Structure 1
């Protein structure tokens, strides 16, 4: 019976001991032939997209599927953390203090970024902190190898094939060398953890050296995060949201992201700031969220909250970014 590409790839996992030793497993002959044929197709697509033969030779010669990437793709854990567990893991004192240092050390850059993109610097720093711990860990996988592996035999092969072509175009543009183009196992790159297609649309050359270097240039990385938020509709004059207290008898069914009312309406219903002060009587569109369920923390979230969710479509993520941003500056 003919073996599918997925069966062929799984068969190579038999060399598990080499993985434990940190070695790249040997690919079976069938898998090698399948991957080589796949790469030939990628080369043809990339050439049509304007990638030179020299770039393809440099980027693709000698690469093989990464079994660790396949394993991680197939074994992604179910999201089981509670809001409190998620919040506490990401809002540690170490991360908050690291954010304050990062803000102070990059103040001039952040001011220039704000002047150009009209995005609040503390939110840029908070996303930087959650994505890569302020650049402390940006990933150690070869982006080209990871994307080639997932495009060849992944759950979303078409998506990752497009990302692979986009990554090759980044190399063609001279923004980074293949050996420095490293990131997550799924291809997210650099300090902002951009996918290659986002790099193409949103990465910026903030330091003016002619390259959009989100791996080695903090100005480029921070400017790119701000550009992402600006293009997603950030409103500089507004907050992301705030923690609130609920009145007795509040109906938790009212707490939905799609149930927006003017902030003044929530204030008139008895909601107050977490410190007990009244909410501003504004017409600002506002939703109420109870991330830990009834009886836990409550938040009033504004349009900028949904902008943060464009970076990562998770209420937990956007709340953590907002709370961290309030603490780093």
Structure 2
């Protein structure tokens, strides 16, 4: 999955900061042959508690009766205003013009659908009744004024209630986790963590009809090429019978299911784990667990390794080295004075890692390994990946982080972040376009400014740094 793909797919979760599709009538042998990790035979008869091939799946979170997808959500309505990105396709006039042409736009995608093997009957059936959900334009260009600090974010996601439910899930589906972990080498606790943080264990998966959302975004707004692929892939999923229309409900950007697959990610990673001829990542726990593991495995998951370590960074440390581009062995970091707060040694000192200091010199440091980078392919936000790794450790029985966060610091608002970028640009440190959203360019610019005034160059944006830039 690409970083852009995931920023869109999981926007609701992070307020901060190639498997071939099988026809519904595919035989069990074909399902096994197309399963890269041979999970099929592990789930059919050989496993205590697993269901036989062809039996009805036990739903992950099945409602009493599956709802019929409505074309669009009725409230709230589109604001009718220009989008905040300033893109010419996001002006109110351009949005209205594209919406007026929506039916023609959808119809024009039939030749592309036909080339993907979608029948005319399926195309007509699954596009009937679609209408543009213009509220998505506001969501696409939303720029929240206030954001959460990383410690508040972690407090919300890694809590006792969610941990208790996660342990229940691990126990309930132990045979499935056993088989998937054995077949793929992907840590069960990471899979359970993603399930818990993405959808709070299938209770918060979004309620927008994915076909309608992706059709809207394929015809209106600034990401039409990207979402055209997602729309056509959603039609493929329905045509092949892997999922039913009522199961394709999700986020505004089209991510669906307990671990939030975009349609194209489903096409690449979904696995028919139990050999029933369908890849059901919504209501079938077997397929859900195996498909999420397949995603991580194909993204480079290193079996038997952790994601990273909390470390104490010594006073006076050169935080210019706290950069994703600067990777060295754990032994080398240790020689520079970085130690685990518990005093434990690093189990594999030759492993390469980079230093992350998400709260600056006054907060804990983290040495991030290869698997942290893999989690960031699932979602490229460091706060998200840290939450996933930490939640997995807690599910495993690990303790909370040892060091304190600088909770006295208030997270800067978007307006303040925009001002900070503008002030850094005025002083020649920032060469990007100020937008109020912090990335590696802003962090590097802030580090250079901090170094110029003799402050710890940790790249952590605080109210004090903003005041220093203001010259007060």
TM-score category, normalised to shorter length? 0.7 to 0.9
Q: Give the TM-score normalised by structure 1.
A: 0.88
SS at match of 2:343: coil
SS at match of 1:286: strand
* Aligned mate of 1:236, from 293, 303, 307: 303
Matched, 1:186 2:186: no
Instruction: Tell me the CA shift for residue 298 of structure 1.
Output: 0.9
Measure, in 2, the Cα distance between the counterparts of 1:115 and 1:29: 52
- Do the aligned residues in 1 keep the contact of 2:98 with 2:220 (CA within 8 Å)? no
Question: Which residue matches 1:287?
Answer: 354
> How big is each residue's C-alpha offset from its partner over 1:215-236, in whole Å with a ceiling of 9 and x where there is no partner?
1111111111100110011111
Question: Which residue matches 1:303?
Answer: 370
- Do the aligned residues in 2 keep the contact of 1:267 with 1:279 (CA within 8 Å)? no
Question: Which residue matches 1:140?
Answer: 207
SS at match of 1:102: helix
Matched, 1:270 2:337: yes
Question: Which residue matches 1:166?
Answer: 233
Query: Greater relative contact order (Cα 8 A, min sep 6): structure 1 or 2?
Result: 2
- Do the aligned residues in 1 keep the contact of 2:313 with 2:364 (CA within 8 Å)? no
Question: Which residue matches 1:259?
Answer: 326
- Pick closer, same or farther for the CA change 1:283–1:164 going to 2, 3 Å: same
Measure, in 2, the Cα distance between the counterparts of 1:320 and 1:326: 10
- Pick closer, same or farther for the CA change 1:20–1:144 going to 2, 3 Å: closer
Instruction: Tell me the CA shift for residue 76 of structure 1.
Output: 4.5
SS at match of 1:19: coil
Q: Give the TM-score normalised by structure 2.
A: 0.62
Question: Which residue matches 1:122?
Answer: 189
- Do the aligned residues in 2 keep the contact of 1:267 with 1:278 (CA within 8 Å)? no
Measure, in 2, the Cα distance between the counterparts of 1:104 and 1:225: 18
Question: Which residue matches 1:99?
Answer: 166
Measure, in 1, the Cα distance between the counterparts of 2:257 and 2:171: 21
The root-mean-square deviation of aligned C-alpha atoms, in Å, is: 2.0
SS at match of 2:108: helix
> How big is each residue's C-alpha offset from its partner over 1:26-70, in whole Å with a ceiling of 9 and x where there is no partner?
xx9976651111011122221122111121122101111113323
| Aligned residues between the structures | 306
- Pick closer, same or farther for the CA change 1:281–1:170 going to 2, 3 Å: closer
Matched, 1:317 2:373: no
- Pick closer, same or farther for the CA change 1:20–1:185 going to 2, 3 Å: closer
- Pick closer, same or farther for the CA change 1:281–1:249 going to 2, 3 Å: farther
SS at match of 2:211: helix
Structure 1 unaligned regions, length at least 5: 1-17, 22-27
- Do the aligned residues in 1 keep the contact of 2:189 with 2:393 (CA within 8 Å)? yes
SS at match of 1:294: helix
Instruction: Tell me the CA shift for residue 155 of structure 1.
Output: 2.2
- Do the aligned residues in 1 keep the contact of 2:323 with 2:355 (CA within 8 Å)? yes
Question: Which residue matches 2:111?
Answer: 44
Instruction: Tell me the CA shift for residue 274 of structure 1.
Output: 2.1
Matched, 1:111 2:167: no
Measure, in 2, the Cα distance between the counterparts of 1:29 and 1:208: 46
Matched, 1:209 2:209: no
Bigger mean CA deviation after superposition, 241-250 or 166-175: 241-250
> Larger helix proportion, structure 1 or 2?
1
Alignment of 1:2-41 (within 5 A): 19=75, 33-41=100-108
- Pick closer, same or farther for the CA change 1:143–1:267 going to 2, 3 Å: same
Instruction: Tell me the CA shift for residue 244 of structure 1.
Output: 1.1
SS at match of 1:299: strand
